[in-house]
Amino acid sequence: MKNVHENVVIVAMDEESKKQITQQWPKLKILSWIIPCLKDSFNYGDGKYQLFFVFRSNLARSFLYFGKTIWMIQQDTFWRENLLETKIDKDQPKVDIIFDRASEGDSKIIAGGYYFAKPTCSSQIFFKQLSYDLERIYAPDNAYMTYLCSNKGSINCGLVPFNLITNWIWIYEPERLTDKSRIPILIQFDGDTKLGSKFEKMKKLGFYFVDEKDGKTCNNSAVEVSLSKSGPQLGGGG
Protein backbone atom coordinates (compact mmCIF):
# COMPACT_ATOMS: atom_id res chain seq x y z
CA MET A 1 0.00 0.00 0.00
CA LYS A 2 1.27 3.43 -0.97
CA ASN A 3 3.40 5.33 1.56
CA VAL A 4 2.68 2.97 4.46
CA HIS A 5 6.27 1.82 4.96
CA GLU A 6 7.48 5.38 4.53
CA ASN A 7 5.22 6.67 7.30
CA VAL A 8 5.16 3.83 9.80
CA VAL A 9 7.32 3.63 12.92
CA ILE A 10 7.63 0.16 14.44
CA VAL A 11 8.44 -0.04 18.14
CA ALA A 12 10.71 -2.96 19.06
CA MET A 13 10.82 -3.78 22.77
CA ASP A 14 13.57 -6.41 22.52
CA GLU A 15 16.74 -6.84 20.48
CA GLU A 16 15.64 -10.01 18.69
CA SER A 17 12.50 -8.36 17.28
CA LYS A 18 14.54 -5.41 16.09
CA LYS A 19 17.06 -7.73 14.43
CA GLN A 20 14.46 -9.84 12.62
CA ILE A 21 12.44 -6.87 11.38
CA THR A 22 15.55 -5.05 10.19
CA GLN A 23 16.74 -8.10 8.25
CA GLN A 24 13.41 -8.53 6.49
CA TRP A 25 12.51 -4.86 5.96
CA PRO A 26 15.73 -2.80 6.20
CA LYS A 27 14.08 0.47 5.12
CA LEU A 28 11.48 0.53 7.90
CA LYS A 29 11.90 3.05 10.70
CA ILE A 30 12.31 1.16 13.96
CA LEU A 31 12.19 2.74 17.40
CA SER A 32 14.18 0.52 19.74
CA TRP A 33 12.69 0.87 23.21
CA ILE A 34 14.01 -2.06 25.22
CA ILE A 35 11.75 -3.09 28.09
CA PRO A 36 13.15 -6.34 29.58
CA CYS A 37 9.95 -7.36 31.38
CA LEU A 38 7.91 -7.06 28.15
CA LYS A 39 10.18 -9.15 25.94
CA ASP A 40 8.33 -12.38 26.78
CA SER A 41 4.74 -13.24 25.89
CA PHE A 42 2.00 -11.91 28.11
CA ASN A 43 -1.77 -12.17 28.10
CA TYR A 44 -4.80 -9.99 28.74
CA GLY A 45 -5.18 -9.31 32.46
CA ASP A 46 -1.53 -9.90 33.31
CA GLY A 47 0.42 -7.26 35.19
CA LYS A 48 2.66 -6.95 32.13
CA TYR A 49 -0.39 -6.16 30.04
CA GLN A 50 -1.16 -3.24 32.34
CA LEU A 51 2.44 -2.05 31.97
CA PHE A 52 1.99 -2.19 28.19
CA PHE A 53 -1.04 0.11 28.55
CA VAL A 54 1.15 2.63 30.35
CA PHE A 55 3.92 2.29 27.79
CA ARG A 56 1.56 2.86 24.88
CA SER A 57 0.11 5.96 26.52
CA ASN A 58 3.59 7.34 27.16
CA LEU A 59 4.55 6.58 23.57
CA ALA A 60 1.61 8.66 22.33
CA ARG A 61 2.59 11.44 24.74
CA SER A 62 6.11 11.47 23.32
CA PHE A 63 5.01 11.86 19.71
CA LEU A 64 2.47 14.54 20.59
CA TYR A 65 5.01 16.43 22.69
CA PHE A 66 7.19 16.78 19.60
CA GLY A 67 4.26 18.06 17.55
CA LYS A 68 3.56 14.84 15.62
CA THR A 69 0.08 13.86 14.49
CA ILE A 70 -0.16 10.09 14.85
CA TRP A 71 -2.22 7.01 14.16
CA MET A 72 -1.68 4.47 16.93
CA ILE A 73 -2.27 1.08 15.33
CA GLN A 74 -2.28 -2.63 16.20
CA GLN A 75 -0.35 -5.33 14.40
CA ASP A 76 -3.20 -7.89 14.59
CA THR A 77 -5.22 -6.18 11.87
CA PHE A 78 -6.04 -6.96 8.25
CA TRP A 79 -6.00 -3.81 6.13
CA ARG A 80 -8.30 -4.09 3.13
CA GLU A 81 -7.53 -0.47 2.26
CA ASN A 82 -4.84 2.02 3.16
CA LEU A 83 -5.70 3.66 6.48
CA LEU A 84 -3.50 6.63 5.61
CA GLU A 85 -5.64 7.41 2.56
CA THR A 86 -8.97 7.43 4.39
CA LYS A 87 -10.84 10.61 5.33
CA ILE A 88 -11.50 9.57 8.91
CA ASP A 89 -9.53 12.48 10.36
CA LYS A 90 -10.82 14.98 7.78
CA ASP A 91 -14.45 14.12 8.53
CA GLN A 92 -13.97 15.25 12.15
CA PRO A 93 -11.67 18.29 11.92
CA LYS A 94 -12.49 19.81 15.32
CA VAL A 95 -11.73 16.82 17.56
CA ASP A 96 -8.46 16.22 19.42
CA ILE A 97 -8.48 12.41 19.28
CA ILE A 98 -10.51 9.97 17.18
CA PHE A 99 -10.91 6.46 18.64
CA ASP A 100 -12.11 3.17 17.21
CA ARG A 101 -15.33 1.85 18.72
CA ALA A 102 -16.04 -1.28 20.73
CA SER A 103 -19.37 -1.83 18.94
CA GLU A 104 -21.87 -0.10 16.71
CA GLY A 105 -25.05 1.66 17.74
CA ASP A 106 -25.32 4.40 20.36
CA SER A 107 -22.55 3.06 22.58
CA LYS A 108 -19.70 5.49 23.21
CA ILE A 109 -17.34 2.82 24.54
CA ILE A 110 -13.87 3.10 23.03
CA ALA A 111 -12.08 -0.01 21.75
CA GLY A 112 -8.66 1.64 21.96
CA GLY A 113 -6.69 -0.44 19.48
CA TYR A 114 -6.66 2.35 16.92
CA TYR A 115 -6.72 6.07 17.50
CA PHE A 116 -5.79 9.24 15.63
CA ALA A 117 -4.33 11.98 17.82
CA LYS A 118 -3.44 15.57 17.05
CA PRO A 119 -0.71 17.39 19.01
CA THR A 120 -3.13 19.76 20.74
CA CYS A 121 -2.78 20.89 24.34
CA SER A 122 -5.91 18.92 25.21
CA SER A 123 -4.63 15.65 23.73
CA GLN A 124 -1.28 16.02 25.50
CA ILE A 125 -3.05 16.58 28.82
CA PHE A 126 -5.32 13.61 28.07
CA PHE A 127 -2.45 11.14 27.67
CA LYS A 128 -0.53 12.62 30.59
CA GLN A 129 -3.54 11.98 32.80
CA LEU A 130 -4.06 8.53 31.29
CA SER A 131 -0.47 7.50 32.00
CA TYR A 132 -0.59 8.88 35.53
CA ASP A 133 -3.81 7.08 36.40
CA LEU A 134 -2.89 3.76 34.76
CA GLU A 135 0.25 3.65 36.89
CA ARG A 136 -1.99 3.74 39.96
CA ILE A 137 -5.25 2.11 38.91
CA TYR A 138 -5.57 -1.40 37.49
CA ALA A 139 -7.99 -0.90 34.62
CA PRO A 140 -8.17 -1.56 30.86
CA ASP A 141 -6.93 1.51 29.02
CA ASN A 142 -9.96 1.57 26.72
CA ALA A 143 -12.34 1.81 29.67
CA TYR A 144 -10.34 4.60 31.22
CA MET A 145 -10.02 6.47 27.93
CA THR A 146 -13.81 6.26 27.60
CA TYR A 147 -14.09 7.78 31.07
CA LEU A 148 -11.65 10.60 30.26
CA CYS A 149 -13.50 11.37 27.01
CA SER A 150 -16.72 11.85 28.97
CA ASN A 151 -15.24 15.08 30.36
CA LYS A 152 -16.32 17.31 27.49
CA GLY A 153 -14.75 20.40 29.05
CA SER A 154 -11.17 19.14 28.78
CA ILE A 155 -11.04 16.97 25.64
CA ASN A 156 -12.97 16.66 22.39
CA CYS A 157 -13.07 12.98 21.38
CA GLY A 158 -14.43 11.53 18.16
CA LEU A 159 -15.28 7.98 17.14
CA VAL A 160 -14.50 6.03 13.98
CA PRO A 161 -17.61 4.45 12.42
CA PHE A 162 -17.69 0.78 13.42
CA ASN A 163 -18.21 -0.27 9.82
CA LEU A 164 -14.79 1.18 8.93
CA ILE A 165 -12.61 -0.25 11.71
CA THR A 166 -14.13 -3.29 13.38
CA ASN A 167 -13.16 -6.03 15.83
CA TRP A 168 -14.01 -9.58 16.89
CA ILE A 169 -17.76 -8.88 16.72
CA TRP A 170 -17.62 -8.69 12.92
CA ILE A 171 -15.71 -12.00 12.80
CA TYR A 172 -17.58 -14.09 15.37
CA GLU A 173 -20.98 -12.44 15.87
CA PRO A 174 -21.94 -10.78 12.56
CA GLU A 175 -25.62 -11.15 13.44
CA ARG A 176 -25.14 -8.23 15.87
CA LEU A 177 -24.37 -5.86 13.00
CA THR A 178 -26.86 -3.70 11.14
CA ASP A 179 -25.33 -4.55 7.76
CA LYS A 180 -23.16 -7.66 8.04
CA SER A 181 -22.55 -7.78 4.28
CA ARG A 182 -20.55 -4.54 4.40
CA ILE A 183 -16.89 -5.44 4.81
CA PRO A 184 -14.87 -2.99 6.95
CA ILE A 185 -11.67 -1.47 5.61
CA LEU A 186 -9.76 -2.65 8.71
CA ILE A 187 -10.51 -5.88 10.56
CA GLN A 188 -8.97 -6.40 14.00
CA PHE A 189 -8.38 -9.95 15.21
CA ASP A 190 -8.76 -9.16 18.89
CA GLY A 191 -10.93 -10.59 21.63
CA ASP A 192 -8.86 -13.74 22.18
CA THR A 193 -7.64 -14.16 25.76
CA LYS A 194 -5.85 -17.48 25.28
CA LEU A 195 -2.09 -16.99 25.02
CA GLY A 196 -0.62 -18.06 21.69
CA SER A 197 -3.91 -18.92 19.99
CA LYS A 198 -4.34 -15.77 17.88
CA PHE A 199 -2.18 -16.87 14.95
CA GLU A 200 -3.84 -20.29 14.88
CA LYS A 201 -7.26 -18.69 14.62
CA MET A 202 -6.04 -16.32 11.93
CA LYS A 203 -4.77 -19.34 9.98
CA LYS A 204 -8.10 -21.10 10.36
CA LEU A 205 -9.95 -18.04 9.07
CA GLY A 206 -7.57 -17.68 6.14
CA PHE A 207 -5.77 -14.57 7.39
CA TYR A 208 -2.21 -15.83 7.74
CA PHE A 209 0.03 -14.12 5.20
CA VAL A 210 3.54 -15.46 5.61
CA ASP A 211 5.15 -18.53 4.14
CA GLU A 212 4.61 -21.61 6.32
CA LYS A 213 8.23 -22.71 5.88
CA ASP A 214 10.13 -19.65 7.09
CA GLY A 215 7.41 -17.64 8.85
CA LYS A 216 8.74 -14.43 7.29
CA THR A 217 8.23 -14.24 3.53
CA CYS A 218 4.95 -12.69 2.38
CA ASN A 219 2.52 -15.17 0.82
CA ASN A 220 0.90 -12.98 -1.84
CA SER A 221 -1.59 -15.63 -2.89
CA ALA A 222 -2.95 -15.84 0.67
CA VAL A 223 -3.45 -12.08 0.64
CA GLU A 224 -5.40 -12.25 -2.62
CA VAL A 225 -7.64 -15.02 -1.29
CA SER A 226 -8.45 -13.02 1.84
CA LEU A 227 -9.21 -9.90 -0.17
CA SER A 228 -11.77 -11.86 -2.15
CA LYS A 229 -13.62 -13.12 0.94
CA SER A 230 -17.07 -11.77 1.74
CA GLY A 231 -18.38 -10.85 5.19
CA PRO A 232 -20.77 -13.77 5.78
CA GLN A 233 -18.19 -16.27 4.51
CA LEU A 234 -15.59 -15.05 6.97
CA GLY A 235 -17.75 -14.26 9.94
CA GLY A 236 -19.85 -17.39 9.75
CA GLY A 237 -23.16 -15.58 9.29
CA GLY A 238 -25.77 -16.32 6.67
Chain segment 171-221, per-residue pLDDT in tens:
777 777 777 677 888 888 776 656 556 677 777 777 777 777 777 777 888
One domain for residues 12 and 52 = no
Residue 197 is predicted with a pLDDT of: 65
Q: Which pLDDT score, from 0 to 100, does residue 100 have?
A: 94
Q: Are residues 77 and 148 in the same domain?
A: yes
- What pTM, to 2 d.p., does this model score? 0.84
- Looking at residue 106, its pLDDT comes to 78
The answer to whether residue 145 is domain-embedded is yes
| Residue 180: predicted pLDDT | 66
CA atoms within 13 A of residue 32's CA, in its CB half-sphere = 9
Residue-level pLDDT at 219:
81
Q: Is residue 108 part of a domain?
A: yes
pLDDT at residue 134 in the model: 94
Provide the domain limits for residue 6: 1-40
User: Does any domain span residue 6?
Assistant: yes
51 and 137 inside one domain: yes
| Residue 8 · residue 70 · CB < 8 Å | no
> Are residue 63 and residue 4 in the same domain, yes or no?
no
- Residue spans of the chain under pLDDT 70: 180, 191-198, 229-238
Beta bridge partner(s), residue 29: 9
* Confidence at residue 191, expressed as pLDDT on a 0 to 100 scale: 61
Together in a domain, 88 and 18: no
Shared-domain flag, residues 47 and 36: no
Cβ-defined contacts of 121-129 (< 8 Å, 24+): 122/96, 122/154, 122/155, 122/156, 123/64, 123/96, 123/97, 123/155, 124/61, 124/64, 124/65, 125/154, 125/155, 126/96, 126/97, 126/154, 126/155, 127/57, 127/58, 127/60, 127/61, 127/64, 128/61
Q: Is residue 74 part of a domain?
A: yes
User: According to the model, what pLDDT value does residue 233 have?
Assistant: 43
Q: What CATH code is carried by the domain that includes residue 55? A: 3.90.550.10
